[in-house]
Amino acid sequence: MQAITVLGATGSIGVSTLDVIARHPHRYRVFALTANSRTDILLQQCRQFAPRYAVVADEQQADAFALRVREEGLAVEVLAGVAGLEAVAAHPEVTTVMAAIVGFAGLSPTLAAVRAGKKILLANKEALVCAGQLFMQAVGQAGATLLPIDSEHNAIFQCLPYGKTLVEAGVRRLLLTASGGPFRERSLEEMEWVTPEQACAHPNWSMGRKISVDSATMMNKGLELIEACWLFGTTPAQVQVVVHPQSIVHSLVEYADGSTLAQLGNPDMRTPIAYGLAWPERIDAGVPALDLFVAGRLDFLPPDEVRFPALRLAREAFIAGGSAPLVLNAANEVAVAAFLAGRLPFTGVARIVERVLEQLAARPLPGDLSALVAVDALSRQCAEQEIKVHA
């Protein structure tokens, strides 16, 4: 019986995780659930899954939530803030942590789980983008098990022999698929004034708003490129992004002998989540099998980095190293929030990220979390300033 903490339980990945868990009550027990502010959803989840702890990250809302929990007579202990998130991520009774908080906010609780040597199901790609070296060193030192949940990385993981480096496995390249998002065929001029609703209407995947916008700008693929480099110990030169509009092939591994292995399936995050939960076994995820006759054709195209400059910016930031990926991520989070709030045009997102990267040159990153928090804060300030001046 695995005891599971779901960080970001109220989000798209969190809800899908609980859906899979509910199908296997004899294998999985929910130990803790966390939210930022959507406490109505959290309360409903507490009724259904009876966790030992519920954490409200937004401290202003925690007391009111604790009162509602008491009034309902639920045996759930309510914790608040980052300290609460870290406590349930690292608790000795927890075996498995689903890291599904969106953005930089997910880094400290995920790192707490890593340092406590847990099995981590990593959806929060921003944690690796911002703190790749620190994060992977901590995984090694604590003996944590890191399983990728992002569908592309999960697919690559499924196509690789476990426990071997890419060189030992005879891997030539990783092929990272991208749907191309809702604006795949739009010109730059057409993209200038698209709305948040259009940007969040992903053609194949149902996801949270931030990752939906990242998908539309293709920053998501840039973040995933960095994530792949850290997870699989490789360089951007060995990772080819392939636009695949149908989102059926979730990624591929090209081997030295001419073989290319792929993982296919319907676009439903419950598949990689179930794989992570049960690994190395497989369990029912509630996802229907892929019908190849319905899928019909599968297309593959090169990415267009002129219309989607975010992909290039992410690659360059990873190559620059040090603080650059952290700066890229912070500027992107601020710019995406500004776009969603109607304060920045869609194409302004990549422009702001580029300007912030130009201003804050890459520096060596000290290996402690507080230093990362300081660089993140400075990058956010710089991005807000740029939005004021240029939006």
Ligand X SMILES: NC(=O)c1ccc[n+]([C@@H]2O[C@H](COP(=O)([O-])OP(=O)(O)OC[C@H]3O[C@@H](n4cnc5c(N)ncnc54)[C@H](OP(=O)(O)O)[C@@H]3O)[C@@H](O)[C@H]2O)c1
What is the contact surface with ligand X in residues (CB under 6 A)?
Answer: 8-14, 35-38, 57, 100-102, 105, 123-126, 150, 205, 207-208, 210-211, 269
> What angle in degrees, to the nearest 10, is found between the helix axes of 107-115 and 81-90?
30
- Residue 227 or 355: the one with the smaller Cβ distance to ligand X is 227
- Residue 81 or 236: the one with the smaller Cβ distance to ligand X is 81
Closest distance between ligand X and the C-beta of residue 99, in Å?
A: 8
Closest distance between ligand X and the C-beta of residue 119, in Å?
A: 17
- Residue 8 or 348: the one with the smaller Cβ distance to ligand X is 8
- Residue 59 or 284: the one with the smaller Cβ distance to ligand X is 59
C-alpha distances in Å from residue 346, one per residue of 99, 190, 221, 232: 28, 10, 17, 32
- Residue 155 or 211: the one with the smaller Cβ distance to ligand X is 211
Closest distance between ligand X and the C-beta of residue 231, in Å?
A: 13
- Residue 123 or 375: the one with the smaller Cβ distance to ligand X is 123
CA 225, CA 174: separation in Å to the nearest integer?
Answer: 10
Residue 342: exposure state from Cβ atoms within 10 A (0-12, 13-18, ≥19): exposed
Tokens of 296: 């019909």
Closest distance between ligand X and the C-beta of residue 168, in Å?
A: 28
CB of 185 closer than 8 Å to CB of 168: no
- Residue 18 or 355: the one with the smaller Cβ distance to ligand X is 18
Three-point CA angle 39, 40, 43, nearest 5°: 80
CA 345, CA 196: separation in Å to the nearest integer?
Answer: 9
CA 194, CA 210: separation in Å to the nearest integer?
Answer: 15
CA 372, CA 391: separation in Å to the nearest integer?
Answer: 27
Place of tokens 């906010």: 105
Tokens of 205: 């995947």
Closest distance between ligand X and the C-beta of residue 325, in Å?
A: 14
Closest distance between ligand X and the C-beta of residue 202, in Å?
A: 9
CB atoms inside a 10 Å sphere around CB 86:
21
Closest distance between ligand X and the C-beta of residue 344, in Å?
A: 19
- Residue 36 or 217: the one with the smaller Cβ distance to ligand X is 36
Peptide bond into 280 cis (omega under 30): yes
- Residue 178 or 355: the one with the smaller Cβ distance to ligand X is 178
Greatest Cα-to-Cα distance within the chain, rounded to the nearest angstrom: 64
Closest distance between ligand X and the C-beta of residue 59, in Å?
A: 10
Closest distance between ligand X and the C-beta of residue 14, in Å?
A: 5
Range list of H helices, the chain: 12-22, 39-49, 59-71, 81-90, 107-115, 125-142, 151-159, 166-169, 188-191, 196-200, 209-217, 219-232, 270-278, 292-295, 309-320, 324-340, 348-359, 369-390
